[in-house]
Every structure is written in C-alpha cells, then in structure tokens.
Amino acid sequence: MKSRDIRRKKLTFYLSGACIFCMLFFRLAKHSFSIGTTPRTVFAYLATYFVIPCVLAWYVIDWWQCKSDLPDDPRSCHRCGFSLEGLPDQGICPECGHIYDLRD
C-alpha cells in the first residue's frame, strides 16, 4: 500500500472523528446549558468520558496501522522495517538500534 493511500485513510479517520466530536460537543453543551449546568462541568464531562478515550483509541489505531505497514521481508528489521540486505545475520539495526538475529 502506498504511503499516500495510508495518509489519505488516516486523514479521513481523523476528520470524521473531529466532526463527530464537534457534533457531540455542541449537542451536549446545548443540553447542559438548558438545564443550568456550568461550562466547567460540561468540559470536565467531555474530557473524562469522551476526549481522553477517543485520543487513546486514535493512538492505538494509528500504532496498529503503522505496525501492519511494516514489510514481511525476512531480511528486514522487525521493529522499523529497515532492509538488512548486505548486513550480517546478527547485529544492530543501523536505523533504529534494535538487536536483530536473522538466523531464528
């Protein structure tokens, strides 16, 4: 998969999340202000029950997508995907410093 396609998928994911967040935020704010709560209560509610879990979910999904984008080549670093062609079967990856052993 090309990096342009990956960036497009991530951008679509983040923009849709931002739109959903804005809609929920304004809906909750409108409802909360109509029943007499303070803005501090609304923001505390949003941060606790919506923003923090969404941010954590985005980081997990982003990490998972990046991990699945690594090549399946047996002569590549398992951590960063750097090609180890021409290097010995044991050593340290010059890209990320991970110790590799290609004999396993």
The domain locations on the chain are: 1-69, 72-104
**CB-CB contact of 50 with 63 (8 Å):** no
Cβ-Cβ contacts under 8 Å for 10 (sequence gap 6 or more): 62, 65
**pLDDT grade for 1, boundaries at 50, 70 and 90:** very low
pTM over the 0.75 mark:
no
What digits encode the pLDDT tens for the residues 51-92?
A: 777 777 777 777 776 666 555 667 888 777 788 888 998 999
